[in-house]
Amino acid sequence: MVFFSRAKQIRSWRIAHTMNISKLVGLLSLILIISGHIQAQEKYRRLGDFRGAVEAYKQAIGIKSDYPEAIFSLGVAYLELKDQDAAMEQHKRLAAIDEERADKLYNLIKNKISLRVLNGKAISLPKPLYPAQARAAHASGVVIVWVQIDETGKVVSASTVTGHILLRSAAIEAAKLARFTPTMLDGQPVKVSGLVTYNFVSEEPGRQYLPPR
């Protein structure tokens, strides 16, 4: 019985070892594939072919969807193509997995493109609730939200680009409730995007939120 038990243990160990080797081989293959895409991406960028770079970055992200370096570089490529909405979408994806890279991408976007602040175009701009956790932590400061607005002036997408982590969710929820004057182009309403800013103040009773100046 001891012999069979020992043999069973050895067999189990061999199976586990084989599975680990298979996982390692799979991981190495994935790294090699992604590395190939990265080399192609850098080649496209050196040649100034940013559309080609976009496609190569998309392929890399298709293999590994939470690959922050590729998402960041895709945002930069979109920025070179002056597609600010697509660049900000990559910022939104980065913010969920790599805040440092997300902030770096936002700074590049801000310096490359003039981002419009839309507070003055709001028909209705509800004040955000001040979260109890944020109040207890004395969290304060400006939170900037990137919004996409449809032809009717309704916010269809909102994500934070900067601001205290404890205040971001409240700012997003408030931004989603905002309504704006429809933007007209050649007599037709069009979709627009831009920034909405919220200023949270923690110390003064009754003044947890102050409108941006």
Going along the chain from its start, the domains and CATH numbers come out as 2-112 (1.25.40.10), 119-210 (3.30.2420.10)
Whole-model pTM over 0.75: no
- Are the beta carbons of 40 and 77 closer than 8 angstroms? no
Mean pLDDT computed over 183-205: 86
- pLDDT averaged over every residue in the chain: 79
- As a whole number of angstroms, the distance between CA 152 and CA 188 comes to 11
**Tens digit of pLDDT for each residue in 107-151?**
888 888 778 899 999 999 999 999 999 999 999 999 999 999 999
What pLDDT score does 131 carry? 92
Q: Per-residue pLDDT tens for 43-89?
A: 555 556 778 888 888 888 888 888 888 899 889 889 888 898 899 99
Bridge partner residues of 82 (DSSP): none
SS3 call for 55: helix
C-alpha span between 165 and 99 (Å, rounded): 10
How far is residue 102's CA from residue 110's CA, in Å, rounded to a whole number?
Answer: 12
141 vs 34, more confident: 141
- pLDDT reported for residue 26: 41
